[in-house]
């Protein structure tokens, strides 16, 4: 079972213990070296700015909601989280320096957060090929 970044965006984030809604998913932050999601960036209903939720506090991403472990440990401040690089729409470069379109969507494992497939405008790329995501491009191994 996989989920798409585009499906996750806008889902409410609810704690399992208290059924408290922490906000909605604004974006998913990727740890490119580990090829998995590291944080969920929230559109805050309470705090201003973008509170973030570390992936280890997420139990699962369902069809209709993201279930998180209990508050108050659930919320972290943005300063503790790494810089968010938006993957969707990013330019794709191979490690050989050739462009490979732009990111259309990303499929991930909703429980482990591992990146399964990167869908680009020039076709899909297996998640394990991901090696970097920076201000200029998302970098994948060519072979």
Interface with another protein (CB under 8 A) = 32, 85, 90, 93-99, 131-139
Closer to another protein by Cβ: residue 1 or 96: 96
Structure tokens given for 65: 């909601």
**Number of neighbours of residue 70 by Cβ within 10 angstroms:** 12
Q: Are 139 and 129 within 8 A, CB to CB?
A: no
Closer to another protein by Cβ: residue 14 or 37: 37
Closer to another protein by Cβ: residue 89 or 97: 97
Structure tokens given for 136: 């200029």
User: Which residue, among 79, 77, 78, 101, has the nearest Cα to 90 in the 3D structure?
Assistant: 101
Closer to another protein by Cβ: residue 7 or 94: 94
User: Which residue, among 130, 20, 12, has the nearest Cα to 61 in the 3D structure?
Assistant: 12
Task: Give min distance, CB of 82 to another protein, in A.
Answer: 12
Task: Give min distance, CB of 22 to another protein, in A.
Answer: 29
Task: Give min distance, CB of 85 to another protein, in A.
Answer: 7
User: Which residue, among 35, 57, 34, 61, has the nearest Cα to 115 in the 3D structure?
Assistant: 35
Task: Give min distance, CB of 90 to another protein, in A.
Answer: 8
């Amino acid at each position: 079972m996989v989920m798409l970044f585009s499906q996750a965006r806008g889902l409410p984030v609810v704690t399992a213990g208290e059924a408290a809604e922490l906000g909605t998913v604004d974006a998913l932050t990727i740890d490119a070296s580990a090829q998995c999601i590291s944080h969920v960036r929230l559109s805050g209903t309470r705090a201003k700015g973008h509170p973030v939720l570390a992936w280890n506090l997420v139990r699962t991403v369902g069809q209709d909601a993201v279930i998180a472990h209990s508050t108050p440990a659930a919320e972290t401040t943005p300063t503790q989280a790494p810089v968010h690089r938006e993957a969707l729409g990013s330019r794709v470069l191979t490690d050989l320096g050739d462009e490979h379109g732009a990111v259309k969507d990303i499929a991930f494992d909703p429980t482990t957060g591992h990146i399964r497939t990167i869908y680009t405008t020039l076709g899909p790329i297996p998640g394990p090929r991901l090696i970097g995501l920076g201000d200029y491009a998302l970098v994948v191994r060519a072979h």
